[in-house]
Amino acid sequence: MVEAREVIFSFIIMVLATASASWLMLVYLRIARRASLLFFSANLLFIVSCMLMAARFGRSGFLIWNLADIITLVGFSLFSLGVRTLYHQPLRLYHYGLLAMTVLLVYPVIPGQLSSAYWFALTFSVFSSALFYFIARDIVAANRKRVGLVRSLLLGWPFVLAIGLNGIRVITQLSNVRPVYFTHNDEIFGVSILWFFIAAAVFFNIALVGQVLWRMIQRIQYQADYDGLTDLLNYRAFQRQLALVDADAKRRAQDFSVLVIDLDNFKQINDSYGHLVGDEALKHCVQTMAMATRQQDCLARTGGEEFSLLMPDTNLASAHQVAERMRRLVEENPLRYQGKRVPLTVSIGVASRALSPLEHLIDCADNAMYDAKHGGKNQVCVARGRGAPALAAVKTEPAPADEPTRAAHPKRS
Ligand SMILES: Nc1nc2c(ncn2[C@@H]2O[C@H](COP(=O)(O)OP(=O)(O)OP(=O)(O)O)[C@@H](O)[C@H]2O)c(=O)[nH]1
């Protein structure tokens, strides 16, 4: 039977070596580099731990046994840290520090003799369960919002299963049914637990590769739909959103409106302060504009310094109010840069679906925005009518501070 164990141990080490090589390849390819490096290191530690465990069958030294357990726990900690790194979660190193301290306090207390096998196994089960719990919890926390609880649990299923199996093991051991697994003189359990190691090595690594792939897919999807600078939806995603809102509005016989918003004299900001300040100005402006929007509105970056706001269930008059409020907020919140005040203003065009067909809606708002530009900038213009939106665009004037919805003369900063 000892020979069978040796063969199985060699097989486990081969599996772990293959996993290590694969993670190293991902590090080399710069795919989730830091997380892959942590997963690679964890697999190396498992190889060391397996070698020690293989040695312990010959000599049954408890020091080696404990060392193998502790190295395995450090490997699981690296898995857990890798998952947190992958999902950009806070590392919270004190969690691992606390766990390490407890491990180092508990292991020396247990007497190093064969009858303690039960306690060593129990201790290892409890600590490894804590680490599996960290991993499963982090995977669920990172994905729950996007794919729901059940699917996010499925993403980390080997770790969830490991918590369950360890739980059963702890309960059976605490209820003193019999010391299961890891008994030196019990050949059957000795070999069966080795098969369990193989399954764990394979499934844990597959689950983690799955996390890396899943994360990459999420990132690609995000880059396809979002603007990297402002984190707003891009033009393509905005068009998709527009079609969805239009279908919904038709079904419910409701109106909706769009704003096309363009920063004024933005080239001048870039030329005077540089592109980095220009980028800051764009981000600052987005934050300010967002103050005028509601939860259901959809603000998108549809051009370099051009934005669009989609407002479901909003008629032209209400959209005009929002646009005016937005214009005023931007004007009143200049960018502060190195103690200087960088004034920002926007020109806004408003159009509503009730007055324009979908295929012309954005053009109508865009033309109204250009009317605002030609009218002197820092103002809101409303597009009316279907056929000739540019001609029908009606300029409205900014409201006074206490009356956000009514007109006054355009303000310039
Ligand atoms: N910093 C920065 N600049 C950008 C970005 N995208 C576009 N721009 C710049 O925005 C400027 C737009 O210039 P124009 O189209 O002349 O517009 P403007 O100066 O705002 O003039 P008006 O629209 O007439 O008020 C150009 O200089 C672009 O290089 C960006 O992501 N970051």
Q: Kindly state whether residues 216 and 281 are assigned to the same domain.
A: no
On whether residue 45 sits in a domain, the answer given is: yes
Ligand 1 atom closest to the CA of 229, numbered from 1: 31
DSSP 177: S
On whether residue 410 sits in a domain, the answer given is: no
CA of 298 from ligand 1 middle (Å) equals: 22
Ligand 1 atom closest to the CA of 281, numbered from 1: 1
Looking at residue 367, what is its pLDDT? 94
Q: Whose CA is nearest to atom 23 of ligand 1?
A: 264
Whether pLDDT at 412 is above 60: no
Looking at residue 315, what is its pLDDT? 95
- Which residue, 349, 372, 375, 373, is CA-closest to 362? 349
Say what the ipTM of the complex is.
0.95
CA of 262 from ligand 1 middle (Å) equals: 9
Whether pLDDT at 168 is above 90: no
Cα separation, 293 vs 322, whole angstroms: 7
Cα separation, 378 vs 392, whole angstroms: 20
On whether residue 382 sits in a domain, the answer given is: yes
- Domain enclosing residue 127, as ranges: 2-225
DSSP per-residue string spanning 142-175? HHHHHHHHHHHHHHTHHHHHHHHHHHHHHHHHHT
Q: Kindly state whether residues 246 and 202 are assigned to the same domain.
A: no
Q: Using an 8 Å Cβ cutoff, are 52 and 68 in contact? A: yes
pLDDT tens-digit readout, 324-366: 999 999 999 999 998 889 999 999 999 999 988 899 999 999 9
CA of 184 from ligand 1 middle (Å) equals: 74
On whether residue 289 sits in a domain, the answer given is: yes
Q: Looking at per-residue confidence, does 384 or 392 come out higher? A: 384
Whether pLDDT at 392 is above 90: no
Q: Whose CA is nearest to atom 4 of ligand 1?
A: 304
Most confidently predicted of 145-154, 162-171, 303-312: 303-312
Q: Whose CA is nearest to atom 32 of ligand 1?
A: 279
Looking at residue 210, what is its pLDDT? 94
Q: Kindly state whether residues 207 and 266 are assigned to the same domain.
A: no
- Which residue, 81, 7, 85, is CA-closest to 50? 7
- What sign results for the dihedral spanned by CA atoms 359, 364, 367, 372? negative
CA of 266 from ligand 1 middle (Å) equals: 5
Packing angle, helices 117-155 and 157-174, rounded to 10: 150
Q: Kindly state whether residues 48 and 111 are assigned to the same domain.
A: yes
On whether residue 404 sits in a domain, the answer given is: no
Q: Kindly state whether residues 210 and 297 are assigned to the same domain.
A: no
Testing ligand 1's pocket by substitution, the residue of 305, 306, 345, 374 carrying the most ligand atoms inside 8 A of its CB is 305
Q: Whose CA is nearest to atom 16 of ligand 1?
A: 267
Ligand 1 atom closest to the CA of 279, numbered from 1: 1
Looking at residue 181, what is its pLDDT? 47
From 201, 225, 249, give the residue that closes a domain: 225
The pTM of this model reads 0.72
CA of 303 from ligand 1 middle (Å) equals: 9
On whether residue 411 sits in a domain, the answer given is: no
Q: Which residues line ligand 1 (CB under 6 A)?
A: 229, 262-268, 270, 275, 278-279, 282, 304-305, 373, 377
Q: Kindly state whether residues 216 and 110 are assigned to the same domain.
A: yes
* Portion of the chain with pLDDT greater than 90, in percent: 65
Q: Kindly state whether residues 275 and 183 are assigned to the same domain.
A: no
On whether residue 157 sits in a domain, the answer given is: yes
Structure tokens at 206: 């597959």
Mean pLDDT of 228-236: 96
Cα separation, 202 vs 46, whole angstroms: 12
Ligand 1 atom closest to the CA of 270, numbered from 1: 1
Q: 100-114, 313-327, 379-393: which range is least confident on average? A: 379-393
Q: Kindly state whether residues 116 and 9 are assigned to the same domain.
A: yes
CA of 357 from ligand 1 middle (Å) equals: 29
From 225, 260, 283, give the residue that closes a domain: 225
CA of 239 from ligand 1 middle (Å) equals: 22
Most confidently predicted of 6-10, 163-167, 194-198, 301-305: 301-305
On whether residue 413 sits in a domain, the answer given is: no
Q: Kindly state whether residues 251 and 205 are assigned to the same domain.
A: no
The confidence band for 411, taking pLDDT boundaries of 50, 70 and 90, is very low
CA of 379 from ligand 1 middle (Å) equals: 18
Q: Looking at per-residue confidence, does 37 or 406 come out higher? A: 37
Q: Kindly state whether residues 220 and 245 are assigned to the same domain.
A: no
Q: Kindly state whether residues 206 and 307 are assigned to the same domain.
A: no
Q: Kindly state whether residues 126 and 30 are assigned to the same domain.
A: yes
Q: Whose CA is nearest to atom 21 of ligand 1?
A: 265
- Which residue, 368, 372, 398, is CA-closest to 384? 368
The span from the first CA to the last CA of the chain, in angstroms, equals: 87
Whether pLDDT at 184 is above 80: no
Q: For the chain, what is the domain count?
A: 2
From 225, 243, 274, give the residue that closes a domain: 225
Cα–Cα separations (whole angstroms), residue 92 to 40, 81, 387, 396 = 21, 9, 60, 54
CA of 41 from ligand 1 middle (Å) equals: 47
* Portion of the chain with pLDDT greater than 70, in percent: 86
Q: For position 392, which CATH number holds?
A: 3.30.70.270
